[in-house]
A and B are shown apart, each in its own frame.
Chain A
Amino acid sequence: MEDKKTPLLDQLEQGPWPSFVTEMKKAAEKDDSAKDLLLQLEQSYVDKKGHWKHGGIVGVRGYGAGVIGRYSDSPEEFPHVAEFHTVRVNQPSGWFYNTATLRKLCDIWEKRGSGLTNLHGSTGDVILLGTKTDQLQPTFDELSDAGFDLGGSGSGLRTPSCCCGPARCEWSCFDTLDLCNDLTHTFQNQMHRPMWPYKFKFKISGCPNDCVASIARADLSIIGTWRDSLRIDQEQVKEYARSGMDIRGEVCEKCPTKALKFDEKAQELQVKVEDCTRCMHCINRMPKAIRPGVDKGATILIGGKATILRSAFLSWVIVPFMKMEPPYQELKDLIDKIWEWWDENGKTRERVGELIYRLGMGNFLRAVGLPPVPQMVREPRANPYIFWQANEVERGEGK
């Protein structure tokens, strides 16, 4: 057989950034499907279009999720990627690994798949990229024996993910890793057996820096915060001033609510606690001098999603503050109510944010039992098109 060439892809082995083509070639030396993937991609680069057939429904016994089926549209030309399915494997909280665990995963995938992976998929899963239908069950069996489980796909709970939290960050306002792990275990059924109108994602960030982008990339965003004052170490403030930092310019003037004042004479930083919106800027700039408060918990936001169908949404506040301590019962009760309402009212392929947009926050809040508070809005409505509940008006001429 002649050795087929990849002149276009070869150009992507040049340059300083690590090359995915080099990675594909390494895998292609050991596996025919990785080799055909490379050749099919070269063809895509020539044709300027994808060469995967539409859709594909495959899976493992007992689950309705976790595997993305994929078939080549040119199986005669690229027979080893005629079937080339992705397996999503649930990552450990915070993407921390010991090497023994990663090596176990490598051994299984070397035997059962293409040898190509994504570390990691955008939602957080380990992506095992490319295997045949008859390999799916054996792959899962071996993964399961080695202590791995599949992640989510389809119209169910997707794999939750979280920032590194208290494992390696001084700003984390609760144990993001434990909450992520706990929710994942609690809701295994909702993840593996899709039963909802559409997908649902949790993302968990320990502070408002939001290092897993939960506000933009999760239907339910759990973001750490605190209720008391910033903790300021005035000795360290003086250190920053001595080192030449323009505290007034770089910190105080950038404060969105002008809650910080720097007393040049005393070289002290004062915070007007009730004005602080906990944006993290001053803490980010002076990590040795300023820390979050001690009365910590999380803000819960809902609705984040990408554009399709009715525009992109950033999650919005539904619970300004909730304590985040095991067993997280208050949060789990709220989640159950949200899912029940969405499952009952959501149309096919309607994300929870779009359902709230369609039926209104008032209906949502009544359904899940949350009190309306000003922290939920940027500003009150400007139009007077107000709905009243029957029990809120007197029985009169109109009734």
Chain B
Amino acid sequence: MSRTDLGPPDYREMLPPIIKENYGQWQYHEYVQPGVMKHVSESGAELFTIRVGSPRLVSLDFIREICDLADTYCDGYLRFTSRHNVEFLLSKEENVQPLLDALKLKGYPVGGIGNAMSSMVHTQGWIHCHTPATDASGIVKAVMDDLFEHFTHMDLPARLRVALACCLNMCGAVHCSDIAILGIHRTVPRINHDRLSKVCEIPTVIASCPTAAIKPDPQKKSVKINEEKCMYCGNCFTMCPAMEIMDPVNDGIAILVGGKVSNARTGPMFSRLAIPFLPNNPPRWPEVVDAVHKIVEVWIADAQTGERVGEWINRIGWERFFDRTGIPFTDKHIDDYIFSVPTFRSTTNFKW
């Protein structure tokens, strides 16, 4: 039997010599150009970072190619960021331009630093998950193609974080991103009564429902759903394969806006519903791409320097957000779950 409980490889062996020598001694950093940073140590040592966008779903050819580049220009070291970008770490300034040239030749986009859009945090979608209401990689590719210039330029009012989750499990960062793309269902699960008691634990299925829409059905040795209480979250399907919920006609996308995780200026904020539904339209999801594009454009035109999407909306007010973006406001936007009342407007302060 193989060795167990050995844990991850030792990070200390993964650090380039310049980082080992200046560990914890960095004094400041600056942006040299889009996608390129310089960190300066107390000792005067300079470390250059080149950040490169990646599709996250990558082949071994991709990994070996970035290893080749790191061997040639970075003494064999590189890292990945928390948004799935690749970072080349260079101790020699004279290697910066040759690496940028090599990356350009191979078609790797350099950017994602400063007041730019970074890569989209996203999930498995139809590639590998069993509960998605939409795909992940396809929409990400379509949106990143459309907003590409904002990845390679630092031309935005502030950082722009876009994330995607293919179902309400919200794996990743959709609940706290400037713009979030979320796969949703709109129809009630279909119960396979013959199969249910064989493959599901009924009390767990009942407990999985946030709105208590599921009750036991002892006669059928199954469960029943109060359809008026079900808002199609799909959590019962996660717990029980006999409650199919995927519906190609009615599944689609909701767009949320205004979340952030950093504490700078304002505390972290949740993303909030902007568009309740857009259709799944593979392979390029034009309705989703257009909606995200429009929100980003209005934000760019309207926001003050340094203002994240959520900070901008808080300043102008939600009524103005819907006005400026032309997004229709509907009953779907008004919260009706357990913490809803504090989201209502208990003041006479509002704009016409």
Chain A residues close to B by CB (< 8 Å): 8-9, 11-12, 14-21, 23-24, 26-27, 34, 37, 41, 44-45, 47-55, 61-63, 68, 70, 84, 86, 90-103, 105-106, 109-110, 115-120, 122, 129-130, 140-141, 144-145, 147-149, 161, 163-164, 166-170, 172, 175, 177, 180-181, 184-185, 188-189, 192, 208-213, 215-217, 250, 254-256, 277-281, 284-285, 287-288, 306-312, 314, 347-349
> Considering only CB atoms, which chain A residue lies closest to B161 in the complex?
A213
Flag B17-42 by CB within 8 Å of A: 1 or 0 each. 00100011011111000000001000
Chain B residues close to A by CB (< 8 Å): 1-11, 13-15, 19, 23-24, 26-30, 39, 47, 49, 53-64, 67, 70-71, 76-82, 84, 86, 89, 107-109, 121, 123, 125-132, 135, 137-138, 140-142, 144-145, 148, 151, 168-173, 175-176, 204, 207-208, 210, 233, 235, 237, 241, 246-249, 251, 259, 261-266, 268, 270, 280, 282-284, 305-306, 337-339
- With a cutoff of 8 Å between Cβ atoms, the chain B residues found around residue A141 in the complex are 2
A143 to chain B, nearest CB (A): 8
* 16 A-B residue pairings within 8 Å (CB atoms): A16-B145, A50-B130, A53-B241, A54-B241, A93-B8, A98-B14, A99-B78, A144-B2, A168-B26, A168-B49, A213-B176, A215-B268, A216-B259, A216-B268, A285-B306, A288-B28
Residues A212 and B1 in contact, CB atoms below 8 Å apart:
no
Please report the C-alpha to C-alpha distance between residue A208 and residue B148 in the assembled complex, in whole angstroms: 28
Residues A168 and B168 in contact, CB atoms below 8 Å apart:
no
List 13 additional contacts besides A26-B59, A54-B241, A149-B6; criterion CB under 8 Å: A20-B140, A23-B59, A27-B61, A51-B126, A53-B130, A53-B241, A117-B58, A120-B80, A211-B82, A213-B82, A278-B263, A279-B264, A308-B169
Known A-B contacts A52-B130, A280-B263; A20 and B26 likewise in contact (beta carbons under 8 Å)? no
- With a cutoff of 8 Å between Cβ atoms, the chain B residues found around residue A314 in the complex are 176, 268, 270
A-B interface contact total, Cβ < 8 Å: 334
Known A-B contacts A115-B59, A168-B89, A312-B175; A306 and B169 likewise in contact (beta carbons under 8 Å)? yes
B246 to chain A, nearest CB (A): 5
Residues B128 and A129 in contact, CB atoms below 8 Å apart:
yes
Task: Point out the residue from B1, B172, B207, B282 that lies within 8 Å of A8, measured CB to CB.
Answer: B282
A371 to chain B, nearest CB (A): 23
Residues B10 and A20 in contact, CB atoms below 8 Å apart:
no
B180 to chain A, nearest CB (A): 11
A15 to chain B, nearest CB (A): 3
The 3 closest A-B pairs by CB, nearest first: A15-B145, A54-B241, A166-B24
- With a cutoff of 8 Å between Cβ atoms, the chain A residues found around residue B9 in the complex are 92, 101, 147-148
Task: Point out the residue from B11, B23, B76, B123 that lies within 8 Å of A93, measured CB to CB.
Answer: B11
Please report the C-alpha to C-alpha distance between residue A147 and residue B77 in the assembled complex, in whole angstroms: 18
Please report the C-alpha to C-alpha distance between residue A208 and residue B19 in the assembled complex, in whole angstroms: 22
Residues A119 and B80 in contact, CB atoms below 8 Å apart:
yes
Residues B8 and A184 in contact, CB atoms below 8 Å apart:
yes
A100 to chain B, nearest CB (A): 7
B285 to chain A, nearest CB (A): 10
